Amino acid sequence: MLLVLGTMPIFLYACGDSGSQTTSGPTTISFWVRSADEGFVKPVVAAYNASHKNKVNLTIVPNNQFVAKFGSAVSGGTAPDVIAIDLVYMPNFDAAGQMTDITDQAKALSFFKDLSPSHVRLSTYDGKIYALPFSAESSVLIYNKALFKKAGLNPDTPPKTWAEIEQDAAKIRALGKDTYGFYFSGGCGGCNIFTFAPYFWASGGDILNQDGTKATIASSPQVKDALEFYHRMWAAGDMPAGAKSDDGTNFLNTFTTGKIGIQGTGAFAIGSLKSTYPNLDFGVAPLPGKDGGNSSFAGGDVIGIPKGSAHAKEAFDFISWCLGSDVQVDQFAKNGSIPVRTDLAANKYSKLDPRYSIVSQQLVIGKTVYSVKENELINDNNGPWVAMIQKAVFDGKVDEAIATGQAQFTQILSAS
């Protein structure tokens, strides 16, 4: 799903069509994406280029270089016409004045109200919209049905509370020395906001207030409960030792061995496991709250037009085309992605596999951390979020971890 901005109201043409052209010759739009998006973006760009007079020139930027490279490009006056980036970075880009206001064009879209609410929220700053949804992700629980059967568990009844996860993990661990009940990437900040935070969100807790300006770790008992929940499974030996040092490298790889019973992951895992590990029988379920309910991280990328783009109108034409129903269904859903439009969650491809219906539903209810300092607080694997998890889960010092985490979050948030 791709987007960008412009100045011409898009109601002048139909989304999904070729879009209006105002120049005598074709315009080439420069488009930067992260390397993590290369696989699904290339076919979309190819389809656009094959059907439009204007063309998109795609540049793939290494994940860990994108933010710095983009900042340098903006300050140097060489920014691309369009960028797609993890939605958690957009508040910082907006606050820094690096993106173009597309409020009027966005609200003129006939399906604006159906766009992923978290993506739109993260792209809104001071009441103005600076980007639109590009790709969608939601976090869910996956579980190995074969191991459930071996452990005497019902493979069609996934756990719906933390206690049920603990009980199921213990029974699966009892199957043998190389089989474990639960897994998570303990050294990965992004992984854990994605799959750990929903546990306490579903239970009513949070680590930041609504506008991301104040830490609420110490005042949310649900955060402490969730850390203790993970620590109990670690102390019981239900997780492999590698969980402690995993910086995200093995976020899904460990589950593919067939030796892990339960873990949190994202919608992307469904297509990946189906295509690469067709014999791995797995189920998908919501990430539960302590005593029921569920939540999810609404993730993915947003796309917008940097300040200074010489082709803002053409860029927004490209965005609107990508959000059209034909593209959303036949380019994205067909290839296993969640449409960023909630009105397209139930489509001809998602109906072929009920697991996609679950991840689409979770996107609608999902939350996303909003903060202009999200990277320092959470995504940085050397930051306070990972440090708190490490100290609480693996060292068992939960109270100390919470106190330190609260203090470090507050210090970062109060710094200019």
Closest by CA position to 98, among listed 195, 193, 32, 167: 32
Residue type, 122: L
What pLDDT score was predicted for residue 11? 26
Measured distance CA(56)–CA(69) in Å, rounded = 20
Integer Cα distance of 74 and 87 in angstroms: 18
Q: pTM for this one? A: 0.84
Strands 28-34 and 55-61: parallel
CB 398 within 8 A of CB 377: no
Burial 289-311 (b: 16+ CB within 10 A, else e): bbeeebbbbbbbbbbbbbbebeb
Tokens of 300: 């993915």
Asked if residues 319 and 5 have their Cβ atoms less than 8 Å apart, the reply is: yes
Residue 223: beta bridge partners? Answer: none
**Cβ count near 274 (within 10 Å):** 14
Task: Please give the pLDDT value at position 178.
Answer: 95
pLDDT at 80: 97
pLDDT in tens, the chain (416 residues): 333 333 222 222 233 333 334 445 799 999 999 988 888 899 999 999 999 999 999 999 998 899 999 999 999 999 999 999 999 999 999 999 999 999 999 999 999 999 999 999 999 999 999 999 998 999 999 999 999 999 999 999 999 999 999 999 999 999 998 999 999 999 999 999 999 999 999 999 999 999 899 999 999 999 999 999 999 999 999 999 999 999 999 999 999 999 999 999 998 899 889 989 999 999 999 999 999 999 999 999 999 999 989 999 999 999 999 999 999 999 888 887 889 998 998 888 888 888 988 998 898 888 999 999 999 999 999 999 999 999 999 999 999 999 999 999 999 999 97
Give the pairing type, strands 282-285 and 132-144: antiparallel
Other C-beta atoms lying within 10 Å of the C-beta of residue 360: 21
Residue 81 near residue 33, CB atoms below 8 Å: no
CB-CB contact of 246 with 185 (8 Å)? yes
Q: Which domains does the chain have, with CATH numbers?
A: 10-137+298-365 (3.40.190.10), 138-297+370-414 (3.40.190.10)
Q: Where are the beta strands (DSSP E) in 62-131?
A: 82-86, 124-125, 128-129
